Amino acid sequence: MTYTQLALVGVAAVVLLDLLVVRTRLLTRKAFWVPYAIIVFFQLVTNGVLTGFRIVTYNGDMIVGDSTPIDGPPPFLGEGRIAFAPMEDLLFGFALVLLSIMMWVVWGRRGVQRTPMAGPPLWRDRARDAQ
């Protein structure tokens, strides 16, 4: 299988797990999508470093875009690339992030260190003390 095909299968698998099998239904929650927007920004930055400096290189036969050139960075945008990285990496990252958060929720749901819950932020201490 190509990376493109495998990435699509990976996303389909975790979406199926989330909505139908494990039923964490993270894809229906703001509590997933807002953090994901933050995560994907940092993915573009860090993965841009990994792919732009050719720390990781890709085979053009396995992705929508062309192979990582030997003598310079790949395209920043276009030709199947987004911030130097193959667009497949966004699918790969989505699958990794959704699976990870899903398992975190699964163990919480099963009662493994469900508490102490997150929060409140430090800056709210002062507001509370003032009351």
Partner 1 sequence: MKLAYLGVLVFILLASGWLEVVLRTRVYTRWRRLVLTLTVPVAVFVVWDIYAIGADHWGFSDQYTTGILLGVLPLEELLFFIVVPIAAILSVEAVRSVKGWPLGDEVLPDLPPDAHPDLHIGPLR
Q: Which residues are at the interface with partner 1 (CB under 8 A)? A: 1-3, 6, 10, 23-26, 28-32, 34-35, 38-39, 42, 46, 49-50, 53-59, 61-63, 93, 96-97, 99-101, 103-123
Closest CB 110 distance from partner 1, rounded Å:
5
Whether residue 86 is preceded by a cis peptide bond, meaning omega within 30 degrees of 0, is no
- The DSSP 8-state label assigned to residue 114 in this structure reads -
Element (H, E) at 15: helix 3-16
Nearer to partner 1, 113 or 131 (CB): 113
In the beta sheet, which residues pair with residue 54?
none
Closest CB 66 distance from partner 1, rounded Å:
14
Closest CB 126 distance from partner 1, rounded Å:
13
Nearer to partner 1, 78 or 123 (CB): 123
Considering all CA atoms of the chain, what is the largest pairwise distance in Å, rounded to the nearest integer?
A: 63
Output the six-digit token pair for 124. Answer: 């709210």
